[in-house]
Amino acid sequence: MNIRFEGRVAIVTGAGAGLGRSHALLLASRGARVVVNDLGRHAADSVVEEILAAGGEAVANHDSIAEFEGAQRLVDQAVSAFGKLDILVNNAGALRDKTFGKLEMADWDFVLKVHLSGTAYCTRAAWPVMQQNKYGRIVFTTSNAGLYGSFGQSNYSAAKMGMVGLMNTLKQEGPKNNIMVNTIAPVAATHMTEGVLPADIAPHFRPEHVSAAVAVLCSEAFSESGVVCSAAAGHYALVRVVSTSGVQMDPAEIATPESLLEHWDQIADGSALRTYPHAAAETAAILEAIEALRA
Ligand SMILES: NC(=O)c1ccc[n+]([C@@H]2O[C@H](COP(=O)([O-])OP(=O)(O)OC[C@H]3O[C@@H](n4cnc5c(N)ncnc54)[C@H](O)[C@@H]3O)[C@@H](O)[C@H]2O)c1
């Protein structure tokens, strides 16, 4: 099946460089009209020039997505330039790395604002437009730093995992209006990872590997919502939150901390992992376990 975006209007945030640039070029090359957002005025303009030179359609936007007003102007520009908005790729980001004991709260606030609030602001501004359109494909950009932890990146990790929580609720609220919200977890050689990936393997980590997966998540054919897709150097996988099967104690009696410690190996036993489609499904599973205990 061909994945094409003719007739679709897309916003890619932070698209003046790195992954965002690559996503914007791919979407445009497959027919999308793209709003290229980046704080860096020259960077956004030159990506627009690249798209136009290749025969595509694009306009630049230089608003910061770290303010709701900027996010709203960005969405308004997409609608005024191209009449609607179908695709939003939340990609913009910046780092302020420090170990937690040395982290200034200004750096905490900055990183949470750009990554987590910026994603929420753009998505919130796009939501009513997509609801009215009865169509939307939204991509968040998380990181293995948030999913698994990364020394010196407490602010970034918290922001990146926060957006998975946001997705987990929007994946339930969006589909009734055909709005699907999914997340990409990339690794790529960009300005952000300069000096982090070993020089000899860095060339394998081309942003284009990630953009291919972003295009899938943005496509009309993709009707799943709530997927976290890891993409790096030609490796693709899905990341899920899992729970051990755990133990079911008698709910009529309060367990002592000592009895929990005695059962800890069973609580932590990862041989039969489970995942739940939403919070209520976990509660339902607990109710079932209580019923089974009482039977
Ligand atoms: N490169 C990786 O390996 C990697 C790994 C995990 C996650 N990510 C995430 O992927 C996304 C893209 O990262 P990248 O590696 O391409 O980095 P990059 O630094 O090359 O590009 C990020 C772009 O975002 C723009 N930007 C920053 N703040 C902005 C704001 N407030 N408003 C608008 N634009 C803003 C920057 O100007 C820059 O052009 C980020 O969210 C990053 O956290 C990257």
Ligand 1 atom with minimal separation from the 142 CA: 7
User: What average pLDDT score do residues 219-237 get?
Assistant: 97
Q: In 218-229, which positions are buried (b, 16+ CB within 10 angstroms) versus exposed (e)?
A: bbbeeeebbbbb
Ligand 1 atom with minimal separation from the 17 CA: 39
User: What average pLDDT score do residues 269-294 get?
Assistant: 94
Q: The tokens 């589909």 sit on which residue?
A: 175
Q: What is the pLDDT of residue 295?
A: 85
**169-219: per-residue pLDDT in tens?**
999 999 999 999 999 999 999 999 998 999 999 999 999 999 999 999 999
% of the chain residues with pLDDT over 70: 100
Assigned CATH for 9-239: 3.40.50.720
Give the separation between CA 92 and CA 40, rounded to whole angstroms: 11
**Contact of 25 with 49, CB cutoff 8 Å:** no
Centroid of ligand 1 to alpha carbon of 292 (angstroms):
49
Centroid of ligand 1 to alpha carbon of 21 (angstroms):
10
Which residues are known to be catalytic? 156
Q: Is ligand 1 within 6 A of the CB of residue 93?
A: yes
In the chain, domain spans: 9-239, 257-294
Predicted confidence (pLDDT) at residue 25 exceeds the cutoff of 90: yes
**243-264: per-residue pLDDT in tens?**
999 999 999 999 999 999 999 9
Q: What is the pLDDT of residue 40?
A: 87
**Contact of 120 with 70, CB cutoff 8 Å:** no
Q: What is the pLDDT of residue 83?
A: 98
CB atoms within 10 A of CB 22: 25
**66-114: per-residue pLDDT in tens?**
999 999 999 999 999 999 999 999 999 999 999 999 999 999 999 999 9
Candidate of 68, 190, 211 to mutate for ligand 1, largest count of ligand atoms within 8 Å of Cβ: 190
Centroid of ligand 1 to alpha carbon of 15 (angstroms):
8
Q: What is the pLDDT of residue 163?
A: 98
Ligand 1 atom with minimal separation from the 188 CA: 3
Average predicted confidence (pLDDT) for the chain: 97
Those residues whose C-beta lies under 8 Å from the C-beta of residue 22, and which sit 6 or more positions away, are 188, 206, 207, 208, 210, 211
Q: Is ligand 1 within 6 A of the CB of residue 191?
A: yes
Centroid of ligand 1 to alpha carbon of 60 (angstroms):
17
Give the separation between CA 160 and CA 271, rounded to whole angstroms: 28
